[in-house]
Structure 1
Amino acid sequence: MASPGKLAHIVLKTGQLAAMTEWYTGVLEGRVTFANDFIAFLTYDDEHHRVALVGTGASEHPGEAHTGLHHAAFTYDTMADLLGTYRRLKADGVHPFWCINHGPTTSMYFADPDGNHIELQIDNFATEAELREWFRSGAFAANPIGVEFDPAELVRRFESGEAFAELVKQS
C-alpha cells in the first residue's frame, strides 16, 4: 500500500465567492490561478491550487454542532514568517480568534468570511525524533490542547531576540 505524497488542496463551498477569494489570497499571500462566476482556484506556491472555492449560494455558517471539517492548517517555515504574517494581517484588520501553543506547534486560528477556521502555525520541533521524545515525556498527555498565548507578547519577545526554544516552550 502507498500513502499519498502530499495533501493537495481543500475545497470550500461559499455564497461569497469574491469575498472569500479576496480573504484567502490576502491571508495566504496567494494568487488566483483560475476563476469564473462559479469557482476560484488559489495557490501560494507551485501547486496549481491549494484552496478551491465553489460558489454554491450557501449562506449558513458552520457551527460547533455541525459535522464536517473543523479547520485547515498551513505551516510556515519560520517564526519570523508566522509573526510577520500576524503583523501584516493585524494591520489589515484580520485578527486571530485563538492563539495557542499546542506543544508540537505554535498556532494562530482565524475565521474566514464564511466562518470556516484556518490555523496558521509553525512546528516547534526541528526533527521528528525531538517531537517523539516530547510526546514520551508525558507533557502532551497532561495537556493535549496546549497553552494560550498573547500574539503581541510573542512578537515582543521574538523582536527582543529571545531564543526560539524559549519562544515555543509551553509556559
Structure 2
Amino acid sequence: MAKLDQLFEAWLDGKTLSEQELELLQQDNEYRQLMAEARGWQEKANQYQDVPTPRWLKHVNPLTASWLQVASYLLVGLGIVGLWLQNVDLNKQLQQQNQLIATQQQVMKDVVAELKQRSVTDKQALSSIATQVVAQTRKERGLEINNLVDFMQAQRAQDQALLRLQLNELEAQVDNTPVERLAKY
C-alpha cells in the first residue's frame, strides 16, 4: 500500500510513470477511482475560463460613490448584522430548549424509576396479600371440615343411640313373646 501511495502522489504531482506503475495503480479499485476523479478535476481546471466581474460587483470607493450606493452597502451591512443577531438569539433559544429537554428527560427517567420501584413494592404487597388470603382460606376450610367431622360424629352417636334403643325394645318384645310364636328354622 505504501508503494501505491507513493506512485499515486508522484502521478498527482505530474511525474511520468512507467506502464507497469500505471498498471499497478489501475489494478487497485481505490486508486483507479481516485485517478478517475483526479482526471475529471483536471479536465474541469483546463476548461476554466476567467469571467469578467459584473459592473455592479466592482469595488466602489465610498468617497466617489453616489449616496445610493453607500446606502445600499449600509443596508446590506445592517441586514447582515441583523441576521447575525438573530442567529445569536436563535442559538440562545436552542440552548434553552436543549436544557429544558434534558430536564424533561431526567424527570421522565426519575418517574420511570419510581414506577419500577412501585411495581416491585406492589408485587410484594400483592404477594403478601395473596399469601394471607390463602392462609385464611385454609384456616376457614379446616374449621369447616372440623365442624363437619364433629357434626358427623354427633349424628353417628345419635344414630347409634337410636339403634340401641330400638334393639333394646326389640329384645324386650322378643323376651315377652311366647316361644310358640317364634319361627323355627
TM-score range, shorter chain: under 0.3
Which is bigger in relative contact order (C-alpha 8 A, separation at least 6)? Answer: 1
Relative to the length of structure 1, the TM-score reads 0.17
Greater helix fraction, Structure 1 or Structure 2: 2
Larger C-alpha radius of gyration, 1 or 2?
Answer: 2
